[in-house]
Chains A and B, each alone.
Chain A
Amino acid sequence: MNTDNKEKIAYDEIESLLPWHAAGTLSRRDSQRVEQALASDPELARRFAMVREELGETILLNETLGAPSGRAMEKLFAKIDAEPARQQAASLNLSARVADFFASFSPRTLAYAGGAAVLVIILQAGIIASVMIKETKTAGYETASAPATDPGVGAFTIIRFAPQASSDDITKFLEANRLQVASGPMPGGLYKVRVSMTGLPKGELAAIVKKLQQDKVVGFIATAE
């Protein structure tokens, strides 16, 4: 396959994602790919404007369709009433029971529980970070055929984002600092985040961590070497 063909396929792939990009339903990674392509390609940007027009008019068209009358609900509940009674909660799955359990708490109780949970998470984070640091220090054996693109290669930190940080805040933070989430979430809401594609001296990594710590998006951060 020649370069032109490859480029055409890549372009078509990006173009096929435009409707989902306009609707905001792409993954962060795909969304970034589309954003980059849009920024450098005026023709693609023109086509994206068309997609946005289609999106707006489709919404408008659907909104003019009205709503069902009360008859639909009456009919539904008449049918439900005619159904045999079922045993309460007999078929609830575990996750739903847990969700239901927490939903039943008052806001004050939840606040206390949340505070306690944060403490546990911080303790966990410290333990996990120290274990990871220890592991990376002792892991010295590697075969000659080990891939150079190993996801473990580079300089890393362990981050727990602040609870109030929105996904937009986190995305902006990662982009602004050229960070990549390598893995996570781990227990305690921790993420392993790559700060450099190559290893960094301890002092340099510590300085980066210190700088990132200032950002309000960061709840907890530690080096992971």
Chain B
Amino acid sequence: MQTTSDEVLIARIAGGDRLAMQVLFARHQVRVYRFVLRLVRNEATAEDLISEVFLDVWRQAGKFEGRSAVSTWMLSIARFKALSALRRKPEQELDEETAEQIEDHADTPETALAKKDKAAVLRQALSKLSADHREIVDLVYYHEKSVEEVAEIVGIPEATVKTRMFYARKKLSEILKEQGIDRGWP
């Protein structure tokens, strides 16, 4: 089966092809949504933001030069939109209920039992990381972005990408230790 590449879709979108936009949206909406949701921690805000992200893609497709992957370019736009939204909306105004749901998603069914489950505690610890650390962990592990791509999305040097990832993982170990799991590192 032959699938149209993202680059070809972007070229068609630049020419005003609505169908190409639908295909690109269907292909990437979930990942972009999850990336934004982990940053803004509010489902309604995340949904609003992804339509803004893809509207920017529609508008700027003609300027896309193909120097990075389309998904990397879209995550850069998504990050910018999410941070702008966070600046507009103070953290206390965010839907705390949703934030709680996201944090505890993995272990709410039987919290007591989950506390003993290392994997569940690890997921909970991942949710407790700061926004910067959550972001880099997600980009590397979930969105499969290379050092260079993370540097481009976050707008930091490649060396900083590596050290930030190191400190995110170190913080994760500290949170796990507080939960009674000593990984013997760092």
Q: Do A and B bind each other?
A: yes
Beyond A22-B141, A88-B17, 14 additional contacts (C-beta under 8 Å) are A19-B165, A24-B144, A54-B172, A60-B106, A65-B102, A65-B105, A68-B30, A75-B47, A76-B50, A79-B55, A83-B58, A97-B11, A99-B5, A107-B2
Shortest CB–CB separation between residue B144 and chain A, in angstroms? 5
Closest Cβ neighbor of A88 among chain B residues: B15
B interface, over-half SS: helix
Q: Can you spell out 22 A-B residue pairs with CB atoms less than 8 angstroms apart? A: A20-B146, A23-B141, A25-B144, A54-B122, A54-B126, A55-B141, A57-B123, A58-B141, A60-B119, A61-B105, A61-B127, A64-B105, A67-B30, A68-B50, A76-B55, A80-B18, A87-B15, A88-B15, A92-B11, A96-B8, A96-B66, A103-B4
Contact B15 A54 (CB under 8 A): no
B71 contacts A by Cβ under 8 Å: no
B46 contacts A by Cβ under 8 Å: yes
Contacts A16-B166, A20-B140, A54-B122; A91 near B50 (Cβ below 8 A) = no
B48 contacts A by Cβ under 8 Å: yes
Contact B11 A23 (CB under 8 A): no
**Could you say which residues of chain A place their CB within 8 Å of the CB of B145?**
25
A39 contacts B by Cβ under 8 Å: no
Cα A46 to Cα B185 with chains together (Å): 10
Closest Cβ neighbor of A92 among chain B residues: B11
Cα A117 to Cα B140 with chains together (Å): 38
Cα A127 to Cα B21 with chains together (Å): 45
Contact B142 A88 (CB under 8 A): no
8 smallest beta-carbon distances between A and B, as pairs = A96-B11, A91-B62, A58-B141, A76-B51, A89-B15, A75-B51, A25-B146, A16-B162
**Could you say which residues of chain B place their CB within 8 Å of the CB of A54?**
122, 126, 137, 141, 169, 172
**Could you say which residues of chain B place their CB within 8 Å of the CB of A24?**
144
Cα A91 to Cα B62 with chains together (Å): 6
Contact A86 B119 (CB under 8 A): no
A53 contacts B by Cβ under 8 Å: yes
**Could you say which residues of chain A place their CB within 8 Å of the CB of B59?**
83
Chain A interface (Cβ < 8 Å from any Cβ of B) = 15-17, 19-20, 22-26, 46-47, 50-51, 53-62, 64-69, 71-73, 75-77, 79-80, 83, 85-93, 95-97, 99-100, 103, 107
Cα A46 to Cα B94 with chains together (Å): 40
**Could you say which residues of chain A place their CB within 8 Å of the CB of B12?**
100
Cα A92 to Cα B5 with chains together (Å): 15
- Total A-B pairs in contact (CB under 8 Å)? 152
**Could you say which residues of chain B place their CB within 8 Å of the CB of A76?**
25, 50-51, 54-55
**Could you say which residues of chain B place their CB within 8 Å of the CB of A51?**
169
Contact B51 A79 (CB under 8 A): yes
**Could you say which residues of chain B place their CB within 8 Å of the CB of A71?**
47
Contact A65 B140 (CB under 8 A): no
Partner of B15, one of A16, A53, A91: A91
**Could you say which residues of chain B place their CB within 8 Å of the CB of A19?**
140-141, 165, 169
